[in-house]
Every structure is written in structure tokens, then in C-alpha cells.
């Protein structure tokens, strides 16, 4: 299965509710960078569609530039595209209804898994706003050009989900952004990983709701303050970051099937060689993260992203959901009791981050 096919299947899950099937806005919108200077745009619609582009995620229609009028073939392209964020507005010419879409992943030279969680459809038919919430892997190896691209996002807050040891080994290169981290030892995470070369799996994720509750409080407090775009990360941008993303999307009303599809995109977008500088574990005898990542770096298998699901197809993330469902009854109850997100907060988060 190609990356493009995988992404369109993920988008299909966002559009399979009865409301989505009957809706007039263009469905299955997708923007992909097929070359350094080429963006391919696709969608489905029974009606002609105007294709407009803007530099800002919330740009009004009057500020957008028309690149294709009354398009009927469901495809358009932007030639000469730069690495800057481009937001596409697809407008049904018959009804005037429209949908926004952008590249899912940022085109960074030495980044890993840095992506926008915008665009996902909720059960009520609304969509997560683009350009406000970003998830990523570690940013210790970003190039100067990458830093310029990240700075252009206008981040207002950065929440680092990594352990004390990881942050010591690979401090972020993103400066000038209010930064928050909650200290904890990598040993607490390793307790659920077994011996030797660490293994991921459903069992590890059962620990996340309790282990990461302090970090989730920080992250959701940042979201509630609504100070501007937010970025959060761990080292790979898939496990702890995947759990955080699952909570955010759940809070906004995105179906669980869609959340799993977003989670599994880390296998496509991770670049392990960009997440941590080469480590000599002898220089860090007391650093649990150094020992862990040195084993990763010495194992050729881990030079590429590993599967995030069991052999039978169960996403590892299901372990976290199972734990929450068993102990708290629902994500909403977990958020209220452990993270301090009330029903009033949930309603406000939906108002702020959905359109």
C-alpha cells in the first residue's frame, strides 16, 4: 500500500458518517508534497470546486488566491511551492460550502514526524482547525532552515513529554518559545519495557494514563489558555506523543477509528536518524535514556520505523484506551478526574479548535 493510498484511507474514515456522506463540501481533501516544489491537491465532489490558497490557516476567503475555478476533475497542483505552510480552501461552487486542508507533515530536512493534527472530522461533522496543534518527534537535530520553518508557525507554547535524561541528551533547538516539561526518570518508562533491546507493545501503553497524567495536565492547560499554536513532542513522536494526541482528538470528538489511523501515520513519517545524536553510553553511565537509545542505534532494525500494532493488527495505542475505559469508564471521565478538564472545558476546547 502506498503512502498516498494509506492517507486517503485515513481520510475516508473521517467522511463515512451519514452527515459526511450528505454534506456538500468537497470530501476527502488531501494535500501532498510530491516534490520539493510541488504540492498535489485532491478531493471528491459531485459539484465543481473552486481551489484557493492562503498563507494563514484562518485566512478569510477574501484573502485567499484563486488557483483553479470550477474544477471538476478533483485534482489541482501548486507548482513552485516553498517549504512554507500553504492552506488550501476548496469551495463548492453550487452551495458555497468549503473545507480547508494543508499538508499533514512539515517538510523538514532533519526533523522527524512533525505534523499538524488539523482537518480530522468529528462525529458531529466539524473539523479540527489547521495550524493550531502540532505533534512531533524530538527537535535536537533541526537544521537552520528547519528552524526557520518552525519559527514561521508562530508557536506560542512547546510542551516536551520526554524524561529528564532524554532532555539532557538532546535538548530542543527550538528557542524563543515558552517551554514546559514535567520531570521524571526514563526508568519509570523502562519499567514497562522489559530487558535487552526495548520492545514496544500494547502492555506498555497501559502505563501511560497514570505515568503521563502530570504532562497531560500541562498540555491541556496550555490548550485551554488558547495563546496560539501549540507543539508537543517526545523523542520519536509516536508513543507518548501518540497518547497525548489521542486524548486531544478524543476531547474534540474525533472517532476512535480516525485516531488510530493518525497514530499509525508515525510509521510513515518518522525518521529515526533525526531524533537523537549518536550516543556513547560510556559517557552517560547513570543515564537510563542513553543506554536505551544507544541500543536502538546499534540495532540496524531500528534505523527505520517499527510497526505500531500487534501481529493481528491491534494498534498499541489500544492499550491506553483499554486502561482508561477499565479504570475511569471513558476518556471524558479520565480527563476530568486526572487531568482537570471539566465538561465546560471540553465545550470550550471544541469551540476553540473546531470549525
Read off the CATH number of the domain in which 71 is found.
2.60.40.10
237 and 193 housed in the same domain: yes
| Residuewise pLDDT in 10s, the chain (355 residues) | 555 555 555 555 544 444 444 457 899 999 999 999 999 999 999 999 999 999 999 999 999 999 999 999 999 999 999 888 999 999 999 999 999 999 999 999 999 999 999 999 999 999 999 999 999 999 999 999 999 999 999 999 999 999 999 999 999 999 999 999 999 998 887 775 544 444 568 888 999 999 999 999 999 999 999 999 999 999 999 999 999 999 999 999 999 999 999 999 999 999 999 999 999 989 888 888 888 888 888 888 888 999 999 999 999 999 999 999 999 999 999 999 999 999 999 999 999 999 9
Between β-strands 179-181 and 157-160, what pairing exists: parallel, antiparallel or unpaired?
Answer: parallel
86 and 171 within one domain: no
Q: Tell me, yes or no, whether 188 and 82 share the same domain.
A: no
> Could you tell me how many residues make up the chain?
355
For residue 212, being part of any structural domain is answered with yes
Contact 323, 213 (CB under 8 A): no
pLDDT for the residue numbered 197: 40
The full 3-state SS of the chain, as one line of letters, equals: CCHHHHHHHHHHHCCCCHHHHHCCCCEEEEEEEEECCEEEEEEECCCCEEEEEECCCCCCHHHCEEEEEEECCCEEEEECCCCCCCEEEEEECCCCCEEEEEECECCCCCCCCCEECCCCECCCCCEECCCCEEEECCCCCCCHHHHHHHHCCCCCEEEECCCHHHHHHCCCCCCCCCEEECCCCHHHHHCCCCCCCCCCCHHHHCCHHHHCHHHHHHHHHHHHHCCCCEEEECCCCCCHHHHHHHHHHHHCCCCHHHHHHHHHCHHHHCCHHHCCCCCCHHHCCCCHHHHHHHHHHHCHHHHCCCCCECCCCCECCHHHHHHHHHHCCCHHHHHHHHHCCCHHHHHHHHHHHEC
**130 within some domain:** yes
C-alpha dist (Å) from residue 15 to 22, 44, 169, 266, 304: 10, 11, 42, 21, 31
C-alpha cell at 175: 528557542
Within-domain flag for 107? no
Taking alpha carbons only, the member of 111, 125, 153 closest to residue 23 is 125
110 within a domain of the structure (yes/no): no
Q: Using the 3D structure, point to which of 81, 102, 123 is the last residue of a domain.
A: 102
Q: Do 199 and 170 have their domain in common?
A: yes
d(CA 168, CA 242): 22
Q: Are residues 142 and 239 in the same domain?
A: yes
Instruction: Clarify whether residues 266 and 322 are in a common domain.
Output: yes
HSE (side-chain half, CA atoms, 13 Å) at 61: 9
Q: What's residue 198's pLDDT?
A: 46
pLDDT score recorded for residue 186: 87
Count of domains in the chain? 2
Q: How far apart are CA 239 and CA 263, in angstroms?
A: 9
Q: Both 83 and 163 in a single domain?
A: no
| Same domain? 205 vs 305 | yes
- Where does a domain end: 33, 67, 102? 102
The C-alpha R_g of the chain, in whole angstroms, comes to 20
Assess whether 187 and 313 both reside in one domain.
yes
Q: Which of 102, 126, 150 is a domain's end point? A: 102
Task: Pick the closest to residue 174 from 188, 157, 190 (CA basis).
Answer: 157
Residue 109 lies in a domain: no
Which pLDDT belongs to residue 195?
A: 44
Supply 290's cell numbers.
542513553
Q: How far apart are CA 112 and CA 49, in angstroms?
A: 34
Q: Tell whether 108 is covered by a domain.
A: no
What does the block give as the cell for 9? Answer: 484511507
Domain span holding position 335? 115-353
Q: Quote the pTM value.
A: 0.90
CB of 260 closer than 8 Å to CB of 135? no
Q: Is residue 251 part of a domain?
A: yes
Instruction: List the CATH number of the domain containing 344.
Output: 3.90.190.10
Residues 18 and 96 in one domain: yes
Residue 257: which residues within 8 A CB-CB, separation 6 or more?
A: 13
Residue 32 in any domain: the answer is: yes
Q: What is the pLDDT of residues 7-27, one digit of tens each?
A: 555 555 544 444 444 457 899
Task: Specify whether 122 is located in the same domain as 91.
Answer: no
Task: Examine the domain organization and report whether 265 and 119 are in the same domain.
Answer: yes
Amino acid at each position: 500500500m502506498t503512502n498516498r493510498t494509506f492517507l486517503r484511507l485515513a481520510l475516508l474514515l473521517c467522511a463515512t458518517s451519514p452527515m459526511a456522506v450528505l454534506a456538500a463540501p468537497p470530501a476527502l481533501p488531501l494535500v501532498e508534497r510530491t516534490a520539493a516544489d510541488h504540492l498535489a491537491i485532491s478531493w471528491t465532489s459531485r459539484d465543481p470546486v473552486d481551489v484557493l490558497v492562503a498563507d494563514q490557516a484562518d485566512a478569510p476567503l477574501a484573502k485567499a488566491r484563486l488557483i483553479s475555478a470550477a474544477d471538476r476533475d478533483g485534482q489541482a497542483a501548486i507548482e513552485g511551492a516553498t517549504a512554507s505552510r500553504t492552506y488550501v480552501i476548496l469551495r463548492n461552487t453550487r452551495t458555497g460550502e468549503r473545507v480547508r486542508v494543508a499538508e499533514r507533515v512539515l517538510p523538514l530536512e532533519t526533523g522527524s514526524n512533525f505534523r499538524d493534527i488539523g482537518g480530522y472530522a468529528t462525529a458531529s461533522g466539524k473539523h479540527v482547525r489547521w495550524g493550531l496543534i502540532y505533534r512531533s518527534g524530538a527537535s535536537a537535530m533541526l537544521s537552520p532552515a528547519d528552524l526557520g520553518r518552525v519559527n514561521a508557525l508562530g508557536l506560542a507554547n512547546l510542551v516536551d513529554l520526554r524524561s529528564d535524561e532524554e532532555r539532557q541528551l538532546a535538548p530542543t533547538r527550538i528557542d524563543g518559545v515558552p517551554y514546559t516539561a514535567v520531570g521524571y526518570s526514563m526508568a519509570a518508562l523502562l519499567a514497562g519495557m522489559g530487558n535487552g533491546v526495548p520492545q514496544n507493545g500494547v502492555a506498555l501503553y497501559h502505563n501511560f494514563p497514570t505515568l503521563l497524567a502530570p504532562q497531560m495536565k500541562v498540555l491541556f492547560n496550555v490548550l485551554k489558555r488558547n495563546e496560539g499554536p501549540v507543539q508537543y513532542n517526545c523523542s520519536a513522536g509516536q508513543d507518548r506523543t501518540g497518547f497525548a494526541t489521542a486524548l486531544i482528538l478524543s476531547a474534540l470528538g474525533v472517532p476512535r477509528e480516525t485516531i488510530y489511523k493518525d497514530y499509525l501515520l508515525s510509521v510513515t513519517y518518522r525518521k529515526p536518524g533525526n531524533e537523537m545524536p549518536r550516543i556513547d553510553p560510556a559517557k552517560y553511565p547513570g543515564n537510563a535514556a542513553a543506554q536505551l537509545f544507544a541500543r536502538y542505534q546499534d540495532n540496524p532494525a531500528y534505523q527505520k520505523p517499527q510497526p505500531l500494532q500487534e501481529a493481528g493488527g491491534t494498534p498499541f495505542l489500544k492499550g491506553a484506551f483499554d486502561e482508561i475505559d477499565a479504570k475511569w469508564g471513558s476518556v471524558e471521565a479520565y480527563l476530568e478526574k486526572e487531568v482537570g478538564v471539566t465538561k465546560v472545558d471540553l465545550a470550550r476546547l471544541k469551540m476553540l479548535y473546531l470549525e
